[in-house]
Amino acid sequence: MTAPHDVPVLRLEDVEVTYRRPDGAAVRAVRGASLAVNAGEIVGLVGESGCGKSSLGRAAVGLEKLTAGSVTFKGQPVPGLGRRPRPAGLRPLQLLFQDPYSSLNPRRKVGHQLADGLRASGEAASRARIVQLLALVAMPPSAADHYPHEFSGGQRQRLAIGRALAARPSMLVADEPVSALDASAQAAIVTLLGDLRDETGIGILFISHDLGVVRQIAQEIAVMYLGKIVESGHVDAVWSGPRHPYTKALIAAAPVADGPGRLPLGLAGQVPDPSSPPPGCSFHPRCPMAQAECSAVDPPPLAVGGGQVARCLFALRRPLEP
């Protein structure tokens, strides 16, 4: 396995993303999130639907305008995408979309779409290079001559990965890349991304709501709730010793193959409206451990040892039972 080089390829600092509703209300989808992805490293970003993780991923590649904070790729600021071509230095920063059914053009053959990616990165779109890209994602050369609708969902996601690889990326932001796939296709894509990391040293920000998948593929994990990263650290340390009650609840809600034979209980309540977040700790209305001060104090990130960080007033107590 290729070891991470401890070089921050992608760095997000205090990122904020705000949307405006038709009624004029401000929706703070991301509220001061920071993370870094090193070369040869897979970082998992997890959380419930509506927590802001996809907005953060899109901001990482310039698809969402920052309200505050900064995003850099190899030390170079990542501007918002516009009509002008992306600067050559930012082309190795690529996004893998969630839905392989809509991310590929149904009217064009696969080979032509891979050729588009090659030409956009300044490379000649030869048949040999297209076949090489298909081989990287375990697809036969004949796939180049077919349309996307002729493939399964898992195969389409492989083809989407191949198109992203046409730019010879050193960083891939994968936004829920397996959520639309069945279990066998999910396992195949997760294995493929892990193999690509091992073979090429690519860094990957892997966004998912599934902690089980993230535990399988990632080395580091960042847990997001209502626009903030509430816990981060090495995936094994966070899984075995969560320091934030939200992380504990997510782990407890994950099905276990050899468990007691019943589905786990889900987390009570709903994610609050991001246009009107609760005062103090955002999680306190749903937290079984909440104390009076939790509704008044917004906890800062607290280092709890071993690189693990949690935004909880009680994070320095012993690890919670997962």
For residue 302, what are the CA distances in angstroms to 12, 74, 151, 222?
18, 27, 47, 14
Average pLDDT score over the chain: 89
Residue 273 has pLDDT above 90, yes or no: no
Please list, in sequence order, all residues whose beta carbon lies within 8 angstroms of the beta carbon of residue 75, skipping any fewer than 6 positions away: none
pLDDT in tens, 97-107: 888 888 899 99
pLDDT surpasses 90 at 142? yes
Please tell me whether residue 96 adopts helix, strand or coil conformation.
strand
Residue 40: closest CA among 197, 245, 240, 183 = 197
* Structural tokens at position 235: 């995936």
Q: What are phi and psi of 231, to 5 degrees?
A: -160, 145
Rounded to whole angstroms, the Cα distance separating 261 from 79 reads: 49
Q: Is the pLDDT of residue 220 over 80?
A: yes
* For the chain, percent of residues with pLDDT exceeding 70: 93
- Does residue 146 carry a pLDDT above 70? yes
Residues 6+ apart with CB under 8 A from 48: 209, 225, 250, 267, 271
Domain with CATH 3.40.50.300 in the chain: 1-81+169-256+266-322
CA 172-8-129 angle, 5° bins: 35
Q: Which of 114-123, 228-237, 250-259 has the highest mean pLDDT?
A: 228-237
Q: Which residues are CB-neighbours of 277 under 8 A, at least 6 positions away?
A: 28, 31, 226, 227
Arithmetic mean of pLDDT, 32-49:
95
Residue 14: CB atoms within 10 Å = 13
pLDDT band with cut points at 50, 70 and 90 for residue 269 = confident
Residue 184 has pLDDT above 90, yes or no: no
Residue 129 has pLDDT above 70, yes or no: yes
**Integer Rg of the chain from CA:** 20
DSSP state of 140: -
Measure CA 18 to chain center: 19
Question: Average of pLDDT values for 125-153?
Answer: 95
Q: How far apart are the first and last CA of the chain?
A: 29
Comparing 3 with 158, which gets the higher pLDDT? 158
**pLDDT (0 to 100) of residue 42:** 97
Sign of CA dihedral 249, 251, 256, 260: negative
Q: Is the pLDDT reported for residue 7 higher than 80?
A: no
* Percent of the chain clearing pLDDT 90 (strictly above): 67
Instruction: Taking residues 289-303, report their average pLDDT.
Output: 93
Mean of the pLDDT values across residues 8-21? 94
Kindly tell me if the per-residue pLDDT of 3 is higher than 50.
Answer: no
Q: Look at the alpha carbons of 127, 129, 131, 134 in this order and tell me if their dihedral is positive or negative.
A: negative
Q: What are phi and psi of 161, to 5 degrees?
A: -65, -40
Query: Which residue type does 19 have?
Result: Y
Q: What is the pLDDT of residue 6?
A: 61
pLDDT at 2: 43
pLDDT score for 259? 59
135: left (phi over 0), alpha (psi -120 to 50) or beta: alpha
Dihedrals phi, psi of 98, to nearest 5 degrees: -70, -45
pLDDT digits (tens, 9 = 90+) for 41-99: 999 999 988 899 999 999 999 999 999 999 999 999 998 877 777 777 888 999 998 88
User: Do 37 and 6 contact (CB within 8 A), yes or no?
Assistant: no
Residue 318 has pLDDT above 70, yes or no: no
Q: List the alpha helices (DSSP H) in 166-234.
A: 183-200, 211-217
CATH for 1-81+169-256+266-322 is 3.40.50.300
Question: Given this model, what pLDDT does residue 267 score?
Answer: 72
In degrees, to the nearest 5, what angle opens at C-alpha 75 toward C-alphas 70 and 78? 45
